[in-house]
Amino acid sequence: MNKKLKVLLLLLAVLLLLVLYLILTSESAREESRPAPAKNEAAVQLENNYTTEAKELFNDYSKMVQADSFTLEGLAALKNKILDLKVPTKFKELHINLVLALTKMENYLNSRNEQEKIFSQQMVNQLKADYSWLNN
C-alpha cells in the first residue's frame, strides 16, 4: 500500500470515530433536555390525602380553641395524629409549623406562660393566611 492510501484510511477511521462520538453524545444531550415528567399519580394522591387529613385535624384544633376545651392529653393526641401523616414535600413547612403551634400551646398549658399561647395563636393565624384551604 502506498503512503497516500494509508493516510486516507487513517483519516477515514478518525472521521468515523468522530461521527460515532457525536452521535452518542447528542443522544445523551437529548435525554437531558427532555422536560421532567408531570407529577406522578402517587404524589398527587399523597397531596390530596394530606390536605384532607390536615384540614380535619386543623378544624379539630380550631374547635378545641373556640370551646376553650384543650387539655394536654387532647393536644398530645392531636399532635400525634398530625405526626403520623405522610407529608408531601409541598407541605413540609405547613406541617412543621402546625406541630410547632401545637407544641407551643402544650407549653402554655404546662407553664401558663401567655407568650406561648400568643405565639401559638399567631402561628395558626399565619397558617390560615398562607394556606387558605385550611379555612374551608
- pLDDT for the residue 112: 87
**Are residues 123 and 100 in contact, defined by beta-carbon separation less than 8 angstroms?**
yes
101 by DSSP, 3-state: which? helix
- Quote the pLDDT of residue 55: 92
pLDDT at site 103: 92
pLDDT (mean) for 101-123? 89
In this prediction, residues 89-118 reach a mean pLDDT of 90
**Residue 78 pLDDT more than 70?**
yes
Model pLDDT, residue 33: 63
Confidence of residue 37 (pLDDT cuts 50, 70, 90): low
pLDDT at residue 66, rounded to an integer: 84
The percentage of the chain sitting over the pLDDT mark of 90, rounded to a whole number, equals: 31
Of 82, 114, 119, 76, which is closest to residue 98 (Cα–Cα)? 82
Averaged pLDDT of the chain: 86
